[in-house]
Chain A
Amino acid sequence: MRFRAKIVDLACLNHFSRVINTISKLAKTCILRLTVSKLYFILSDKVANGGVSMWCELCQGNFFDEFQMEGVAAEHNEIYLELVPENLSRALKTAQSAKAVKMKLTNKHCPCLRVAVELPSLSSSSRIVTHDIPVGVIPRRLWNDFREPSVPDFDVSIYLPVLKTMKSVVERMKNLSNSIVIEANLSGEMNLKIETDLVSVTTHFKDLGNPPWASEDGCQSSDQGRDLESMAEARIDIKKLQQLLAGQQVNPTKALCNIVSKRIVHFILLHEDVSLQYFIPALA
């Protein structure tokens, strides 16, 4: 099992740092899955996470200038590591003006992801700052726990409103209530609602648009007969939603959510070279 990678381009480095920052805000611990062409940051829906799950996918070619990986075995050419993304985020903070960042999987005393940041210096020899981030190697028999989640059989799919507005509203609502109801219909309308003994607040978004989903087996097209006005809704933990929105440092090119009434809300945030899926289950 080997892994070696290098980023030299400063823009790619900053972009990668931003992605890691976002991930570190969403998960204390997560799985990093490495394949020949992609990196995945995965959080599976354990009770410890409050049932949320995350699937973030990056094409390594868009970030790394060099990328070499050898998996556990020839027919399973992948590596699964458990790590604390905040550690990686902190290591990359020192790389804001770096000449290069090298990453390597090592196993001196215990498995680590070694991040070596080469900093510019006035003398001819560079300064190198090295961070050893402890990782856990996930054995092959457990890989099935971390499969890509399938898109749920949703009742409504809708584009999210401008994230800045949604973030402000959710932040204020978080002061007033622990849970929030997201409801939306196929006419591009979404409402965010909180209700307590003291106060009830509803924010109405209109003209959001509903994404067209190409149905493979025609099951989604059955909603053509559905009432366009009727709302699908789910009550979710407001902190989880606020964390998701607060972690977005750059506006995504596409942002949408799929609501399975009273079950789960599936958020999809797409950037040019990163896709992030986040599942927040409905509260009992």
Chain B
Amino acid sequence: QAAASGEPYVLAASLDNARHLSSLLRAVHLQDHATCFATANGLRVTVDHAKCIQANAFIQAEIFQEFAVQEESVTFRINLSVLLDCLTIFGTSSLPGTSTALRMCYRGYGYPLMLFLEEGGVVTVCKINTQEPDELLDFDFCSTKVVNKIILQSEGLREAFAELDMTSEVLQITMSPDKPYFRLSTFGNAGSAHLDYPRDSDLMEAFHCNQTQTNRYKISLLKPSTKALALSCKVSIRTDAQGFLSLQYMIRNEDGQICFVEYYCCPDEDVNEAEL
């Protein structure tokens, strides 16, 4: 399946600093398998987990020094743990001023993903097998269906998320035009904990809540989003009429470029049914 232009690779990309890619991928590492979707606009890596949560990392073409896609879109499934081990082959912490350069090539359906990584004159070549892309979850979440939306500065949420009471099965999110405006609650062994963010808080960049909604989400599913929160400067929190949650993280990389990571999560059905 050679591409029309005669170029052997349907996807070829170069990145001076592999960390621009590896740190984002780590933020969506919910489980081993990820679907990579490349177009001329850039790369999207999606991870589904437990049929009710999805994490997406968007790395637009401008982040790369070179990003060439020969077809309208290129899709493949790949083992994300293996991909991360390869991207960080020279280690995760780096001396300032040193970085790993990356070249990524993919010939198309059935071929492995080739990575060429270089740091300090040492070259590592990786060949990672790809698989048939799976059907991805579709949360049918779009901006027209959004009921409540807030944008917070991430530093306000970081501590809260890092210290979530993991003995609680759920994280309850309340969003309302009235008090308590935005509340995070847990119900753990030691008792309930509530954390309120007033609408006029310095951390609150935007507040558009139309309806009081209280939704619960399985805490074990949301906890990995802490990685994305740690990298980000801002986060938008949106819910729709069914209580589906969208978390969008704005991440500025070492070079000041902007990337996004997005999480979608279903409300915890067991709990809601029990309440009925």
Contact = CB atoms under 8 A, between A and B. Distances in A.
B121 A206 contact: yes
A200 to B, nearest CB: 5
Contact of A202 (B91, B120, B124, B129): B124
Q: Is the interface of A mostly helix, strand, loop or mixed?
A: mixed
B122 A204 contact: yes
Contacts, number: 57
Contact of B89 (A168, A205, A206, A207): A168
B interface, size bucket: 20 to 34
Interface string A197-213: 11111111111000000
A199 B125 CA distance: 11
A interface, size bucket: 20 to 34
Given A203-B123, A204-B123, A197 B129 contact: yes
Interface in A178-198: 197-198
A36 B263 CA distance: 68
B91 A168 contact: yes
Given A201-B124, A206-B121, A165 B90 contact: yes
B89 A172 contact: yes
A172 B122 CA distance: 15
A176 interface: yes
Interface in A15-48: none
A144 interface: no
B128 A165 contact: no
A200 B85 contact: no
Contacts of A204: 122-125
Contact of B128 (A161, A168, A175, A198): A198
A198 B82 CA distance: 8
B231 to A, nearest CB: 21
Interface of A: 161-162, 164-165, 168-169, 171-173, 175-176, 197-207
Interface of B: 79, 81-82, 85-86, 88-91, 119-129
